[in-house]
Every structure is written in structure tokens, then in C-alpha cells.
């Protein structure tokens, strides 16, 4: 499904990054619509900005944009592209963390990107990036124990990590529950808890959680797809 030229791209025209934080909602909207073309356009502009005037915030946004790209590519079953996005974002995330090591969100995105390589390339990803994912997400939580998204990111890592290697659905659900307790309106937490419970064959509860995720973020294409494929009973 193609979308018309989105209004959310307008702020990045002209004096690019005069107000860089305004790109974050635009990136989220592109993620929700699975609009890789729009996301790639913003990644290109962020890369240009990073070359001419690298700041921690620009590097962070570039890392976040690639994380969303990896997410969309994985949703579309393009594992190779997902891995490429994730690895491209890791360099920017490292620069953001190096410039501001006390920012929990920077560590979260860095850890999230490391974790995103793993489902795309399980053996290589686990060996090269598994420790990075664990360390960076734990660091994010240490710096800000109330950062709900950090628990979601760690929970997703536990979801993909086999139980015999220290992960599993039970640990993942605990992280998602913590995220919901911290932020009851965090759609990502309901989505991933629903996916985890569906894996545990708890379809009725999973369906309710996925419905909540869609209610909180009605334009999120992948959340709606997950709801549609989950039996209500």
C-alpha cells in the first residue's frame, strides 16, 4: 500500500535540522505506516547532517531511523535488509553514546540495534552483538529505571533469546509488564506482550493485548496485522 506524499516530511525541508527533535515524530509515523521510502529519505538527510555538523542528537536520530528501518524490514520478512539497517545504525548510536554517556535513551537505542541484528542473523548476530545488546539495555535501565521503552527493548531481546541461553517468553513478559506499569499507554509494551503470550498459546489474552496496542496507536500497520492473525479464543 502506497501513501501520498506525507505531511510529516515537511519539517525536514529547507533549513534542515534547525529543530532536529521534530524529526522523531516523523520517524515514528513512517515506522507505523511501514513507509520505508519516507524513512530512507530521512535517513539520507540525517546522514548528510551528520557529515556536516555531527551532534549527539543528530547521531541519535540517525540511529533511531535505522532501528525503525530494521524493524520494518523484519516485519516484511526481509532479514538481509533488516541486518543492514541495524548495522548502519550501530555506528551512529556509538557516536551518540560516546558524546553523552549518561543519556539512557541513547544506550537503549544502541542496545536495541545490537539486538536487532540477532533475529536477522542469529548465529553471527548472537556472537558479535549479543553482549552489546545486554550491556547497553541494562545500562539504559541503570541510568533511568523509569524508561519504559528500555524494558520493552530488553523484553524483545529475551523473547528472541532461547530459554537455555538465559532468555525465553517468561522473562520477556516480566519486562513487558514492567514497561506497562511504568507507562500504561505504551503501545509497544502491549504489542510485544501479546506476541509473547501468543507464542505461549495464550491466544485470548494475546488478542486483548494486541487490540489494546492498536487502540493506542491506530495507524500502526504491523500491530493491526498481528491482531488480525491472532485468534480471539
CATH for 43: 1.25.40
120 found inside a domain: yes
Q: Which residues contact 197 (CB under 8 A, 6 or more apart)?
A: 169, 173, 203, 205, 206, 209
168 found inside a domain: no
All three cell numbers of 109: 537505542
54 found inside a domain: yes
Best CA proximity match to 109, nearest among 146, 69, 60, 72: 60
225 found inside a domain: no
3 state SS of 146 = coil
Query: For 160, which DSSP code?
Result: H
Query: For 204, which DSSP code?
Result: H
3 state SS of 153 = helix
Best CA proximity match to 190, nearest among 169, 207, 204: 207
126 found inside a domain: yes
Q: Which domain holds residue 44?
A: 7-145
CA dihedral over 21, 86, 69, 143, signed as positive or negative = negative
What is the number of structural domains in the chain?
1
The pLDDT of residue 22 is 67
93 found inside a domain: yes
Best CA proximity match to 154, nearest among 105, 102, 206, 111: 111
Burial string for 195-218 (b: 16+ CB within 10 Å, else e) reads: bbbbeeebeeebbbbbbbbbebbe
| Dist. CA 184–CA 54, nearest whole Å | 35
140 found inside a domain: yes
Q: Does residue 178 have a pLDDT over 50? A: yes
Q: Percent of the chain scored above 70 by pLDDT?
A: 91
| Model confidence pLDDT, tens digit, residues 70-87 | 999 999 999 999 999 999
The pLDDT of residue 10 is 32
The pLDDT of residue 121 is 85
Backbone torsions φ then ψ of 126, nearest 5 degrees: -65, -45
Amino acid at each position: 500500500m502506497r501513501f501520498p506524499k506525507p505531511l510529516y516530511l515537511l519539517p525536514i525541508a529547507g533549513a534542515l535540522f534547525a529543530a532536529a527533535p521534530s524529526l522523531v515524530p516523523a520517524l515514528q509515523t513512517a515506522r507505523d505506516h511501514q513507509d520505508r521510502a519516507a524513512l530512507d529519505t530521512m535517513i539520507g538527510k540525517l546522514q548528510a547532517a551528520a557529515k556536516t555538523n555531527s551532534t549527539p542528537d543528530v547521531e541519535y536520530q540517525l540511529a533511531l531511523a535505522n532501528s525503525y528501518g530494521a524493524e520494518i524490514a523484519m516485519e516484511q520478512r526481509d532479514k538481509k535488509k533488516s541486518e543492514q539497517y541495524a548495522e548502519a545504525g550501530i555506528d551512529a548510536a556509538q557516536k551518540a553514546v560516546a558524546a553523552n554517556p549518561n543519556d539512557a535513551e541513547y544506550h537503549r537505542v544502541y542496545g536495541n540495534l545490537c539486538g536487532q541484528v540477532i533475529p536477522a542473523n542469529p548465529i553471527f548476530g548472537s556472537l558479535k552483538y549479543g553482549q552489546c545488546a545486554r550491556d547497553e539495555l541494562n545500562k539504559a535501565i541503570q541510568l533511568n529505571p523509569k524508561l519504559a521503552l528500555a524494558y520493552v527493548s530488553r523484553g524483545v531481546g529475551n523473547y528472541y533469546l532461547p530459554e537455555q541461553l538465559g532468555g525465553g517468553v517468561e522473562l520477556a513478559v516480566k519486562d513487558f509488564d514492567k514497561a506497562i506499569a511504568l507507562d500504561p499507554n505504551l503501545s509497544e509494551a502491549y504489542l510485544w506482550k501479546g506476541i509473547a503470550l501468543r507464542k505461549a498459546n495464550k491466544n485470548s489474552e494475546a488478542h486483548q493485548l494486541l487490540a489494546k496496542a492498536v487502540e493506542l496507536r491506530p495507524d500502526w500497520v504491523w500491530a493491526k496485522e498481528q491482531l488480525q492473525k491472532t485468534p480471539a479464543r
